[in-house]
Amino acid sequence: MKAVQAWQAALGQLQMEMPKAAFDTWVRDAQLVSYEDGSFIIGVQNAYARDWLESRLSSTITRLLTGIMNRTVDVRFTVWQNVDENTTHVQVDEPETISNLDNPSLNRRYSFT
Query: Of 49, 99, 39, 97, which Cα lies nearest the Cα of 71?
Result: 39
Distance from C-alpha of 5 to C-alpha of 96, rounded to nearest angstrom: 52
For the chain, what is the HEC assignment? CCHHHHHHHHHHHHHHHCCHHHHHHHHCCCEEEEEECCEEEEEECCHHHHHHHHHHCHHHHHHHHHHHHCCCCEEEEEECCCCCCCCCCCCCCCCCCCCCCCCCCCCCCCCCC
Helices 58-69 & 3-17 angle (0-180, nearest 10) = 130
Instruction: Report yes or no on whether pTM surpasses 0.85.
Output: no
pLDDT by residue for the chain (113 residues), tens only, comes to: 699 999 999 999 999 999 999 999 999 999 999 999 999 999 999 999 999 999 999 999 999 999 999 999 999 999 987 645 445 556 666 666 666 566 667 677 776 66
Say what the pLDDT of residue 10 is.
96
Domain locations in the chain as residue ranges? 3-79
Q: Tell me whether residue 22 is exposed, middle or buried, using C-beta atoms within 10 angstroms of its C-beta: 0 to 12, 13 to 18, 19 or more.
A: middle
What is the CATH architecture assignment of 3-79? Answer: 2-Layer Sandwich (3.30)
